[in-house]
Amino acid sequence: MKTASRLFSKEIFSWCLYDFANSSYSAIIATVIFPVYYVNVIVGNDAGIGDLWWGRAISLSMAFVALSSPFLGGIADYGGTRKRFLIGYSMVAILSVVLMSALEAGMVFVGFLLIVAANIGFEGGLVFYNSYLPVIAQRSHQGRVSAWGFGLGYIGSFTALILSLPLVKSDQLSLVWPLVGIIFFLFALPAFVNLPSDNKTTLNGKGFVKAAMYNASRLFGSLRELLRERELRRFLISYFIYEDGTNTVIVFSSIFAAATLNFTNSELIYLFMTVQVTAFAGSMIMAKPIDVWGPKKVIAISLVLWSAVAIVSYFVTAKSEFFVVATTAGLGLGTVQAASRAFFAGFIPQGRESEYFGVYSMIGKTSAILGPLIFGMTSAYFKSQRPAIVSISLFFIIGFILLMRVKPPVKG
């Protein structure tokens, strides 16, 4: 397996640039613009029907990725097909997004299928994208390279929103979706070309069966290793809990801003762009400390910050105050994600990157269940989102406590 010996290389730059590319999808399709369009225009949100269809699409796509990632990751390692999976998943996302331009009001099921396909392509591609980190960067530099990727991702989100804003204001949403597809494809091309190539072997039908059987044994072996390796098990439990809190904040921050603080759609876009700036700043500022201090310490600092943000949000009453809180939260967003990825990468045996990151991805995808449920139940019980946002701080506090018990892997 080829490993980069230099901190700066075209492989590392191309890998980071892929984060710029797919962040156009994350910002516009998954978070800010398309969800509102699908829920209110394509479906119509009478009695929450639009929310129901959107929830079904996201849940189905996330479940598929969570269940398939460990198996496909193992096949990618065994068959040497990591890049083919990365390109294949990415193109599914890109083509699905472009086809969204044909959607019209009432095309509920077609839109549902396109959302499912696009989100599977996006989330599935991340599994193989993440697995390149320990291949292209030495362990001593993985923290800063991981942070650079997230940093460029926030620039990508900001850029896509800036380019889309005139189209949104002029109500030309059918042009926004192809724009996302073009950005995704163009900036993903360097990764498709420059990342380490697949093995020059072709798996025929028999080979796929052999790979699947081999992967099954590797998967169960990985699970047994997770149970035996105390520190890795402790970290993944901690990660599962605090990542649940992180996912919940991401999902409900715009809803909280709109419902509780009366943000308009334009204000939400500007708010999200502002958060991208601070998230980028946080990623860059903490890139080197992840390696110097160690990712565990950086994660701990981020969790303290996010706990404070969740608690302070309870008392916010003005839009300007929430802008300050949201931008502060952004400082820890990219940092905790980059540090977590680097921390996990330190536990991975060489040659099993896709397999292990498949498990990592599965945990990350399935960690968005309990938090939203608690948020919704708390909000309904108190008839207010304020106690609900405070309840999320428990995920960060518990995750912090569990993280403190994890001994970091020895650097190689």
325 domain-assigned: yes
Sign of CA dihedral 69, 75, 79, 84: negative
277 domain-assigned: yes
Same domain, 328 and 339: yes
Same domain, 234 and 143: no
2 domain-assigned: no
Q: What is the pTM of this model?
A: 0.73
Q: Which of 281, 277, 291, 250 shows the shortest CA–CA distance to 389? A: 250
State yes or no: pLDDT of 317 exceeds 80: yes
Give the pLDDT band (50/70/90) at residue 252.
low
Instruction: Tell me the pLDDT tens digit for each residue of 189-219.
Output: 999 999 887 766 555 556 656 665 666 566 5
1 domain-assigned: no
Q: Could you tell me how far CA 320 lies from the centroid of its own chain?
A: 27
Same domain, 382 and 410: yes
Same domain, 251 and 172: no
Query: For residue 259, which phi and psi values (nearest 5 degrees)?
Result: -80, -40
Instruction: Tell me the pLDDT tens digit for each residue of 293-308.
Output: 889 999 999 999 999 9
Q: What is the reported pLDDT for 191?
A: 93
Instruction: Tell me the pLDDT tens digit for each residue of 37-61.
Output: 887 788 875 655 666 677 778 778 8
Task: Name the least confident of 6-15, 26-35, 109-118, 318-327.
Answer: 6-15
Q: Which of 287, 247, 282, 295 shows the shortest CA–CA distance to 403? A: 295
Same domain, 284 and 398: yes
Q: Which of 398, 339, 410 shows the shortest CA–CA distance to 370? A: 398
Q: What is the reported pLDDT for 66?
A: 75
Give the pLDDT band (50/70/90) at residue 62.
confident
State yes or no: pLDDT of 2 exceeds 50: no
Q: What is the reported pLDDT for 351?
A: 73
351 domain-assigned: no
- C-alpha to C-alpha distance for 277 and 209, rounded to whole angstroms: 47
Amino acid at position 186, single letter = L
Q: What is the reported pLDDT for 24?
A: 93
For the domain that residue 299 is a member of, what is the CATH number? 1.20.1250.20
Mean pLDDT for the chain overall = 81
Q: What is the reported pLDDT for 5?
A: 44
12 domain-assigned: yes
Same domain, 245 and 221: no
Same domain, 296 and 238: yes
* Domain count for the chain: 2
Span 223-230, mean pLDDT?
Answer: 72
Q: What percent of the chain has pLDDT over 70?
A: 80
Same domain, 208 and 290: no
Same domain, 157 and 295: no
Same domain, 216 and 341: no
State yes or no: pLDDT of 102 exceeds 50: yes
CA dihedral 128, 131, 135, 138 (to 10 degrees): 150
Same domain, 182 and 234: no
69 domain-assigned: yes
Same domain, 169 and 211: yes
138 domain-assigned: yes
How many CB atoms within 10 Å of residue 43?
Answer: 21
Where in the sequence is the domain holding 127, given as residue range(s)? 8-195+203-227
Most confident of 74-88, 130-144, 153-167, 329-343: 153-167
